[in-house]
Amino acid sequence: MKGEIYHYTDLLKAHKLFRKIEGRWKFYDAYMESREPNIWLKTPKVPLKEGLLLFGFVQSWDPYFRGDLAKFLQTYEEEIFGKIKQFKDKTIMEIDFTSSQVKNDIAVIFDKVARCSRGRRFESTDASKILHAIIPKFFVMWDDKIREALVSGDRSGRCYAFKFLPKMQELIQKFINSYINEKGGNQVLALKQISSMADNYTLAKLIDEFNYIKYTKKKSLREIRNIPL
């Protein structure tokens, strides 16, 4: 990633390729359409139905997911909601990652979600999916290969908050800047326009797809750029 030049169409082409080679994208769309918008940020006591929908989505992507829904809902109500509600309606571009308090809060939230599992499993990949589903404009998903490529494989909430998310913010800024340089406008307009060209997915979701294609599926930038729009 370091030293490479990125264009906003790389995101659009990765999105197109993602849909072509990864059939599970339909599960994401189905979940996002069936959930009640912002339900997780309205009240700490979330309806069981929403928890079942969320864990069903995660299970559809990861058959090895061993999340404990009862434990998660209790932990969310008693320990997570008070911290996560500060990020309501925030995009990843609006978060101040120079704030140690913000990053500490994210790290705590992440670790608590990852530990809501059966046994002693630490569900790092699936924690990122759960958090993204709760605030899809902010949290970015990751997996083992993405972690290995970008943050040396560290699975912890601290790595997610202090290294991975700030790095994703910087990367998204490069895509946004390329749009502004070519089309004009400002950051808000660029976010809106790029999203509208990619099925209205958030930039946090599009950057995950880009990472997935590049690092999980090992596609080079040249291969991505060969995809016609």
Which of the four pLDDT bands, split at 50, 70 and 90, describes residue 4?
confident
- Confidence check: pLDDT of 20 > 70: yes
Question: What average pLDDT score do residues 135-152 get?
Answer: 97
Give me the residue spans of the domains in the chain: 8-225
Q: What is the pLDDT of residues 59-106, one digit of tens each?
A: 999 999 999 999 999 999 999 999 999 999 899 999 999 999 999 999
Q: Is 3 exposed, middle or buried (0-12, 13-18, 19+ CB in 10 A)?
A: exposed
Torsion of CA 182, 183, 184, 187, to 10 degrees: -90
Structure tokens at 121: 């499993």
Q: Of 203, 158, 157, whose CA–CA distance to 178 is shortest?
A: 203
Contact 145, 216 (CB under 8 A): yes
Q: Of 229, 210, 206, whose CA–CA distance to 219 is shortest?
A: 210
Dist CA 148 CA 96 (whole Å): 25
Please report the DSSP string for the chain in residue order.
Answer: -TT----HHHHHHHHHHHHHH-TTHHHHHHHHHHSPTTHHHH-SS--HHHHHHHHHHHHHH-TT--B-HHHHHHHIIIIIHHHHGGGTT--GGG--TT-HHHHHHHHHHHHHHHT-BSTT---HHHHHHHHHHHSTTT-----HHHHHHHHTT--SHHHIIIIIHHHHHHHHHHHHHHHHHHH-S-HHHHHHHHHHTTTT--HHHHHHHHHIIIIIS---HHHHHTS--
- Confidence check: pLDDT of 227 > 80: yes
Percent of the chain past pLDDT 90, that is, above it, reads 95
Report pLDDT for 3: 65
Question: What average pLDDT score do residues 146-172 get?
Answer: 97
Question: What average pLDDT score do residues 16-45 get?
Answer: 94
Report pLDDT for 82: 97
- Confidence check: pLDDT of 2 > 70: no
Report pLDDT for 1: 58
Question: What average pLDDT score do residues 207-224 get?
Answer: 97
Cβ atoms within 10 A of the Cβ of 82, count?
A: 12
